Amino acid sequence: MRAGTRVRRRRARLMVLVCSPALLSGCSLAGAMAPRGVGADVSNGLWWLMFWLSAAIFVGWGALFGYGLWRRQRPDADPGGEARLHRRFIVGGGIVLPLLVFGVLFFYDLEAINAQPDGDDVVVDVTGYQYWWQIAYSDPEFVTANELYIPTGTDVRLRLHAEDVIHSFWVPQLSGKRDMVPGQVNELTLHAREPGRYLGECAEFCGLQHTHMRFEVVAVPPEEYEQWLEHMSAPAAEPAGAAERAGYDAFMDASCASCHVIRGTPADGRQGPELTHFASRRWLGAGVAPNDRGHLGGWIVNSQGLKPGNHMPPVEINADDLSDMLTYLQSLE
Ligand code: CUA
């Protein structure tokens, strides 16, 4: 190897070594390691326990390795003593230590299972579709999509369904994952300790747009949750003004109404997400773009450009009708 190449490689290795802590310091504790719910507290505790156990094993291994090197320098060591030492290491490191570690993890796991919330003060049905989430409340009864509101300090029992293929429901800051399997109802209880917006994702590969199958859990104080329920269970606002009325007509005339529900209107398709209070949602296409006028226009005309493989076909519409339709959809607070 040429001397120049060797120096370059050495420099590159040094750079990696110097930069690693700097790069890692850019990571903040987020997701499952910044728990805001009882279920996630438990997983986080287990994670740290395993981390410190692994760290202790690593340090112990390093010490033994150093000790071994040191012993090798002493050829006059007593051979009988050497054999006894080997036996001790085999029994200690091969039997006692694993039993201890797995024993601690086993009992901690049992405790963790018992500590999971399992109440049903509020019950919500969540259904996974390729590639979005339907969310159905029962009291009062209404359906929405991609934003799951829950009251803080309350056990919220989720009944998880899947319409087409297997999905998996995961809100890292609130709880562990739970698979959603067609033809089966799995349950998971969320308990958010504090208000906030928590990112949720599909955690089971379910097709081309698995990566864009996100949702938000919005945890709000119970009084605010009651207000939200009341608002959401009401039918859509009537179109007000010429542009909104023209947009309403454009929506009903185009193919939109055969795939989406807008409560209080003839739109009653069940293929895509409910749009009754669509404008109150923050994201489009299950987290693929912000819900603003520009992205919404692009989404309607060609959602395949933003999220290839999703099940919404392009809508053929002229510019004036599109503008009115956007005005109408943005009025659906
Ligand atoms: Cu649904 Cu991945």
Give me the DSSP letters along 13-73.
HHHHHHHHHHHHHT----GGGS--BHHHHHHHHHHHHHHHHHHHHHHHHHHHHHHHHHHHT
Lowest mean pLDDT: which of 68-72, 128-132, 225-229, 246-250? 68-72
Q: Predicted confidence band at 29 (pLDDT cuts at 50, 70, 90)? A: low
Shortest-distance atom of ligand 1 to CA 206: 2
Closest ligand 1 atom to the C-alpha of 165? 1
- 206 alpha carbon – ligand 1 mean position (Å): 4
Band (12; pLDDT cuts 50, 70, 90): low
Structure tokens at 77: 């060591």
pTM of the model: 0.83
Q: Is it the case that residue 176 has pLDDT exceeding 70?
A: yes
The Cα 92–Cα 105 span in angstroms is: 18
Which residues have CB under 6 Å of ligand 1? 128, 131, 167, 202, 204-206, 210, 213
Is residue 47 predicted with pLDDT exceeding 80?
yes
- Give the number of the atom of ligand 1 that is nearest the alpha carbon of residue 211: 2
How far does residue 238's CA lie from ligand 1's centre (Å)? 35
Average pLDDT for 106-135: 93
Distance 129 CA to ligand 1 centre (A): 8
Residue 76, pLDDT above cutoff 80: no
Confidence of residue 87 (pLDDT cuts 50, 70, 90): confident
Ligand 1 atom 1, closest CA: 167
